[in-house]
């Protein structure tokens, strides 16, 4: 390999203790992880080492100024035991887009892809084969350079860790349309996968949970008139037979699943619209029966259908459909991911 990635194998393995038929999301970790340090203006050669704790200086800038970004990916095994990734170069590109926004160094594609593939080949037995399961992959980068002065760090660490996981959500969820708090603002970092974006969501989501809702539909920061995201996912709305989602901007993540859904919907002959969607339009459609579906879209859940939403003290239930778009689109995506169907879009990447 171009980068001559070194591998330090773990002396023990935890794999025999894992019940692969009952995996919660992201709570069991594989034996190894990839680490790569940025020092003196350059990335060092990636290394694969046993999964374990980190040692950091208390003055590391991650603790003080929050330079931290991440991605979410999955590895899949088909019936023949071949390993596949889904649009991995898109994740690499988005990680670098996040890095640029937080004044962090970009990661060479060779480091990212070769390191990831080397790690997956080493951890191939950790990729589950039970239905709906996969190996969740978490690449993340944070500031290790030290100093209390408010400026970008001079050193960073990239880690790729993996967790065999089952389905992210079970059943439909009920959401509250947020009217007070905002996930992101114009000119901010909402489009980046920055750790702080998610920390800021926890408190409003806790308040919604106290009212009996599982998640929030975020609205724009200025007027709270337009829906933007559902929890940590992009959001889709079906009114009659038209599928709609908000356009990406400074506040909305350019989701890889989102892009895939739009492309597959077009291929399926489903009418799509990428435009701003008013909360009042959603309420009117719920009242007149034209609102058929709302679902979240993201790597972890792929597609998560919503059972209903709350707004202005009133709950609106969504209909139970025999053949929802959400199920149809999810099947198309997962069939590509698990190598069960033709990939006419060139999204599937085999790890050889």
Q: If you average pLDDT over every residue of the chain, what do you get? A: 96
For residue 77, the model assigns a pLDDT of: 97
Confidence of residue 3 (pLDDT cuts 50, 70, 90): low
Q: What is the pLDDT of residues 196-214, one digit of tens each?
A: 999 999 999 999 999 999 9
At residue 2, does pLDDT exceed 70? Answer: no
At residue 38, does pLDDT exceed 90? Answer: yes
Q: What is the pLDDT of residues 129-160, one digit of tens each?
A: 998 899 999 999 999 999 999 999 999 999 99
Q: What is the pLDDT of residues 165-178, one digit of tens each?
A: 987 665 779 999 99
Give the residue among 116, 108, 51 at the shortest CA–CA distance from 85.
116
Confidence of residue 1 (pLDDT cuts 50, 70, 90): very low
Query: What are the boundaries of each domain within the chain?
Result: 6-165, 173-337
Report the phi/psi class of residue 120: left, alpha or beta, with left for phi > 0 and alpha for psi in -120 to 50: alpha
Please, what CATH class does the domain formed by 173-337 belong to?
alpha beta
* CATH 3.90.25.10 for domain 6-165: no
Report the phi/psi class of residue 351: left, alpha or beta, with left for phi > 0 and alpha for psi in -120 to 50: beta
Q: Which helix (H) or strand (E) holds 287?
A: helix 279-288
Summarize the confidence of residues 22-37 as an average pLDDT: 95
> Which residues is 294 bridged to in the sheet?
237
Q: What is the pLDDT of residues 70-104, one digit of tens each?
A: 999 999 999 999 999 999 999 999 999 999 999 99
Summarize the confidence of residues 324-350 as an average pLDDT: 98
- Alpha carbon 207 to its chain centroid, in Å, reads 23
Answer yes or no: pTM beyond 0.85. Answer: yes
- Other C-beta atoms closer than 10 Å to the C-beta of 297 total 27
For residue 197, the model assigns a pLDDT of: 96
For residue 170, the model assigns a pLDDT of: 59
Q: What is the pLDDT of residues 104-117, one digit of tens each?
A: 999 999 999 999 99
At residue 34, does pLDDT exceed 60? Answer: yes
For residue 225, the model assigns a pLDDT of: 98
């Amino acid at each position: 390999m171009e980068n001559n990635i070194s591998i330090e194998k773990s002396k023990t393995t935890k794999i025999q203790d894992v019940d692969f038929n009952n995996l919660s999301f992201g709570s069991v970790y594989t034996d190894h992880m990839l680490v790569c340090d940025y020092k003196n203006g350059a990335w060092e050669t990636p290394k694969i080492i046993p999964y374990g704790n980190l040692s950091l200086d208390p003055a590391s800038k991650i603790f003080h100024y929050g330079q931290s970004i991440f991605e979410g990916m999955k590895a899949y095994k088909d019936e023949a035991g071949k390993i596949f990734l889904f649009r991995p170069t898109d994740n690499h590109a988005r990680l670098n887009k996040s890095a640029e926004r937080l004044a962090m160094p970009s990661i060479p594609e060779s480091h990212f892809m070769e390191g990831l593939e080397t790690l997956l080949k080493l951890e191939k037995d950790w990729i589950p084969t039970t239905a709906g399961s996969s190996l969740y992959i978490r690449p993340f980068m944070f500031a290790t350079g030290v100093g209390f002065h408010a400026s970008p760090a001079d050193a960073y660490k990239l880690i790729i860790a993996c967790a065999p996981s089952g389905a992210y959500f079970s059943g439909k969820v009920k959401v509250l349309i947020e009217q007070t708090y905002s996930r992101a603002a114009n000119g901010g970092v909402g489009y980046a996968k920055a750790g702080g974006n998610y920390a800021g969501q926890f408190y409003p989501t806790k308040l919604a949970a106290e009212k009996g809702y599982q998640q929030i539909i975020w609205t724009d920061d200025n007027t709270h008139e337009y829906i933007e995201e559902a929890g940590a996912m992009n959001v889709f709305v079906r009114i009659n037979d038209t599928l709609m989602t908000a356009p990406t901007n400074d506040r909305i993540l350019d989701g890889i699943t989102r892009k895939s859904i739009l492309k597959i919907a077009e291929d399926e002959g489903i009418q799509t619209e990428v435009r701003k969607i008013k909360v009042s339009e959603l309420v009117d459609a719920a009242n007149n029966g034209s609102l058929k579906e709302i679902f979240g879209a993201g790597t972890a859940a792929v597609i998560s259908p919503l059972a209903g939403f709350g707004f202005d003290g009133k709950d609106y239930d969504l209909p139970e459909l025999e053949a929802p778009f959400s199920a149809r689109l999810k099947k198309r995506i997962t069939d590509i991911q698990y190598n069960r169907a033709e990939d006419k879009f060139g999204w599937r990447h085999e790890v050889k």
